[in-house]
Structure 1
Amino acid sequence: MYGLKTESSFDGAHFLTDYHGKCENLHGHRWRVVAYLRAPELGGQGTERDMVVDFGVFKRALRALTEELDHTFLVERGSLMDKTLACLDEEGFSLTILPFRTTAESLARYFCERLCDQGLPCSQVDVYETPLNCATYLREEG
């Protein structure tokens, strides 16, 4: 089995709905995203001969995904009133509405699925909320 690893980061704000503690309030993180690719065999021909994939392709894919979220307010769909969203939008805030609770665990799954959607054999993503705390999503084989 062969593997590659790259990482990217983004700054983003969020809060956790239905949570009782500090994270129920709006706060931000420097999110660090570490992604892993895995393949049983290396490419057999062309540019990617003897590679899992071209590192440049992998790095650009992950960086493009983190750039989409950089300096935005990550909002779980349905967690804020429409009038609140309208006011934030009117004030010029950058919002990213996501269909899941904005936990590190859910973000790890989100990044893994987005990389797979691009044809990359993503096997794992780690999302760090702080330098010492991360959540991991491991994609099931097959």
Structure 2
Amino acid sequence: MNNIRVTKIFNFETAHALFGYEGKCKNIHGHSYKLCVTILGQPIDEKNHPELGMVLDFGDLKKIVNRTIVDRLDHAILLNENTEHKVLGLHLSKQGHKVIFTDYQPTCENMLIDFAQKLQKELPENISLVKLKLYETENSYGEWIASDNIQ
């Protein structure tokens, strides 16, 4: 078997606030996120195929990740809709701000779970999502690894 992992890196700016948290992150603040998406598959071996030798064209992976995550979250604020932040978010939306309501506390960890679920649905059947790494700051990140989540 000739399975190969390929990774593409994405950058986006997103704000969030953690409702009920006792530290600084209870306040609205933003991050320059860096998302590393790693997939696994076998390179195409059909001699006349335009993507011969590729697991998945990097451009196709870019389109999937941008459509599913980056374009949606870039320059938005994430707020937990199950908290009092919903009122704040509705007010900000009425003022023209890009607000994304989540059904979870918008931590790096929960964002990774959300991203993994969304991306797995969008990838071609012959491609597996094996790893996501989300940098919240230059030296702080979380990872979602498929093998850690096998039931």
Q: Which range, TM-score by smaller chain?
A: 0.7 to 0.9
Q: Which amino acid aligns with 2:114?
A: Y
The structure-2 alpha-carbon separation of the partners of 1:68 and 1:54, relative to structure 1 and needing over 3 Å to count, comes to same
Q: Post-superposition shift, 1:49? A: 3.3
Q: What corresponds to 1:43 in structure 2?
A: 44
Look up the SS of the partner of 1:63 in the other structure.
helix
What percentage of residue pairs aligned between the two structures are identical? 23
Q: Aligned match of 2:144 in 126, 129, 137?
A: 137
Find the residue that maps to 1:7 and give its secondary structure.
Answer: strand
Tell me the TM-score normalised to structure 2 length: 0.83
* Matching residue's letter, 2:51: E
Q: CA RMSD in A?
A: 1.9
Equivalent residue for 2:84, pick from 80, 84, 93: 80
**Residue aligning to 1:125:** 132
Gaps of 5+ in 2: none
- Maintained 8 Å contact 1:4/1:38: yes
Name the CA distance, whole Å, in 1 between partners of 2:51 and 2:19.
44
CA–CA distance in 2 between the matches of 1:31 and 1:81?
Answer: 22
Corresponding residue of 1:91: 95
Alignment check: 8 A CA contact 2:45 2:53 kept: yes
Return the alpha-carbon distance in structure 2 between the equivalents of residues 110 and 81 of structure 1: 19
Q: Structure 1-normalised TM-score?
A: 0.88
Query: How far apart are 1:71 and its partner, in Å?
Result: 0.7
CA deviation profile, 1:29-72 (whole Å, cap 9, x unmatched): 11111110012x32233333332111110122222321110111
Q: CA deviation at 1:79?
A: 2.0
Number of positions where the alignment pairs a residue of Structure 1 with one of Structure 2: 141
Aligned to 2:59: 56
Which has the larger displacement, 116-125 or 65-74?
Answer: 116-125
User: Following the alignment from structure 1 to structure 2, what is the Cα–Cα distance between the partners of residues 75 and 86?
Assistant: 10
